[in-house]
Amino acid sequence: MAMQRTRLIFLVVFFLYVKVEKLQSLDYTCNANDLNTGFTLSYSSHTAEDKSSSCSLQKCNSNLNNTKNCYHPSTPCFDYLSFDNQSYCAPAIQCSILQICNQTCTSNTSVCIVNSCCSPSSVCLPLSLTNLCIKGWFMTGNMTYARYGHTESVLNNGKVLISGGYNNNGGGDPSGAELYDPSTGNWSATMYMHNAHSLHTSSKLNNGTILVAGGMLNFIATNTTELYDLSTGTWTRTGNMIYARYGHKASVLNNGKVLVSGGSNGNDTLNTTEIYDPSTGMWTSTGIMNEKRYGHTSSLLNNGKVLVTGGAAGFIVFNSTEIYDPSTGIWLMTNNMNSLRNGHSATLLNNGKVLVAGGSDGYGALITTELYDSSTGTWANTVNMNQPRYGHTASLLTSGKVLVVAGQGVINGEFYDPQTETWTITGTLNNNRYGHTASLLHNGKVLITGGIGGYYLNSAELY
């Protein structure tokens, strides 16, 4: 019996390998609501064909975060995404077996699956999601080009737009862009930008279009900007910035305008700031920052003001911070951070505070973190991370926790829990990387792309 079962599993592995070229594992185990749930793929005739079955896959309420609205309390929601992007609940019982069925799926990267205990009908699942119980980091499709200094934007349809960047082999795709589809794990090309951009910014406007601004063209700072329209997949030139800059930061204000601050023009670090108005497509100068800044952060606070922290000018690293008030167009200094920081991260928490983590003080990567309270304008140290990080990313998750990822010489991630003010190490990435990008997807996963890990990377992975 054991030998027959082994042979059966081998046949399933062979079938899936031929069909899609790669699939990580066929047996999955996870904990959901403290219930152990096992999933396998099998060739046996599926009991879903039994019409007397009284249960079926139920749609989840995707508006709820941690406890999705399944019909029975003992039915935790797994994001079984069908080809039309719907979610389903699956019962947490040992007989939940995902089995291949004969329905034709509309996508060649999907496979038809039935939940054999409870589904009288089948659903098409993207093969990348059949590892739905794998927790931690796993690889997804590679980008067409290795990229560093690129940007990553989640579009209204859930896909991810990657634009620009370069690599150290004289290759890369600085004017190119590509789209990641979370439902398939695949990348596809979209229209080239009109200009090359590296170390630029990308901002999602209120109408869903993406504004790309500045960066480098052939290692020279540029002031060109352009818009990506999801509905047409095209780029349109818009007004040039007043100042050429790269390594700057951008924040979308509550009025829908975009504030750009600092960066470098290739000769000097900048303290100039300017605002883009989507209604006119024009840029106008606004207040001058009190410090020239490169490698700083820019965070939109709940009160509509913008907090800028740290950064460097030449070899001088700052712990100074300042606030921009859109109603006056003026920058005012606020209290200094407790540490000098450049290349750090800043994350607005659900409680309105800003978590600043890591970076460099000019001598090495930092392990320290601190919190800014906008109601008092003060900084307070919080618990240290488990590892020093520089060139990492930070993402606010739907749970309210913050996931920081990698950094120069670091190959793992860790969570910050604002409720307990603790850091917890999470799994090891498949690639060591820094200078990468990170986005929280609509399905709650975090997509990491590119960066440098001994060489420039085209790989992408999901947490």
Residue 431: in which H helix or E strand, if any?
A: none
Q: For 119-136, what is the mean pLDDT? A: 48
Q: End-to-end alpha-carbon separation of the chain, Å?
A: 37
Q: What is the pLDDT of residue 117?
A: 44
- What is the Cα–Cα distance from 214 to 195, expressed in whole angstroms? 10
Residue 79 has pLDDT above 50, yes or no: no
pLDDT bracket for residue 135 (50, 70, 90): low
User: From residue 80, how far is each of 59, 113, 128, 393, 439 by CA, in Å?
Assistant: 9, 10, 11, 28, 21
- What is the Cα–Cα distance from 161 to 441, expressed in whole angstroms? 12
Q: What is the pLDDT of residue 166?
A: 86
- What is the Cα–Cα distance from 379 to 344, expressed in whole angstroms? 15
Q: For 40-61, what is the mean pLDDT? A: 39
pLDDT tens figures, 422-451: 999 988 998 899 999 999 999 888 999 999
Q: For 379-402, what is the mean pLDDT? A: 96
Q: How many CA atoms lie within 13 A of 143 on its CB side?
A: 34
- What is the Cα–Cα distance from 334 to 309, expressed in whole angstroms? 10
Q: What is the pLDDT of residue 278?
A: 98
pLDDT tens figures, 220-277: 999 999 999 999 999 999 999 999 999 999 999 999 999 999 999 999 999 999 999 9
pLDDT bracket for residue 89 (50, 70, 90): very low
| pLDDT over 90 percentage in the chain | 62
Give the pair of three-digit tokens for residue 343. 């290349």
| pLDDT over 70 percentage in the chain | 70
Q: For 116-135, what is the mean pLDDT? A: 46
Q: 212 - beta bridge partners? A: 202, 226
Q: For 318-342, what is the mean pLDDT? A: 98
- What is the Cα–Cα distance from 218 to 131, expressed in whole angstroms? 41
Q: What is the pLDDT of residue 274?
A: 98
Q: What is the pLDDT of residue 336?
A: 98
pLDDT bracket for residue 217 (50, 70, 90): confident
Q: Are 370 and 321 in contact (CB under 8 A)?
A: no
- What is the Cα–Cα distance from 337 to 316, expressed in whole angstroms? 15
Q: For 120-132, what is the mean pLDDT? A: 46
Q: What is the pLDDT of residue 48?
A: 36
Which is more confident, 61 or 136? 136
Q: For 309-315, what is the mean pLDDT? A: 97
Q: What is the pLDDT of residue 175?
A: 83
Q: What is the pLDDT of residue 184?
A: 83
Q: What is the pLDDT of residue 93?
A: 35
φ, ψ (nearest 5 deg) of residue 410: -120, 135
Give the pair of three-digit tokens for residue 342. 């450049």
Q: Are 261 and 269 in contact (CB under 8 A)?
A: no
The domains located in the chain, with CATH, are: 2-129 (no CATH), 138-462 (2.120.10.80)
pLDDT tens figures, 272-311: 999 999 999 999 999 999 999 999 999 999 999 999 999 9
- What is the Cα–Cα distance from 341 to 357, expressed in whole angstroms? 9
Which is more confident, 118 or 318? 318
- What is the Cα–Cα distance from 360 to 390, expressed in whole angstroms? 6
Strands 98-100 vs 41-42: parallel, antiparallel or unpaired: parallel
φ, ψ (nearest 5 deg) of residue 2: -65, -40
Q: What is the pLDDT of residue 136?
A: 74
Between 142-151, 163-172, 208-217, 240-249, the lowest mean confidence (pLDDT) is in 163-172
Q: What is the pLDDT of residue 139?
A: 87
Q: Residue 141: which residues within 8 A CB-CB, separation 6 or more? A: 128, 180, 185, 186, 187, 460
Which is more confident, 78 or 452? 452
Residue 77 has pLDDT above 80, yes or no: no
Q: What is the pLDDT of residue 122?
A: 53
The CA radius of gyration of the chain, in Å to the nearest whole number, is 24
- What is the Cα–Cα distance from 415 to 355, expressed in whole angstroms? 12
The burial of 118, by beta-carbon neighbours within 10 Å (0-12 exposed, 13-18 middle, 19 or more buried), is given as buried
Q: What is the pLDDT of residue 167?
A: 77
Block residue for tokens 């700057």: 248
Q: For 10-30, what is the mean pLDDT? A: 28
Q: Mean pLDDT, the chain, as a whole number? A: 79
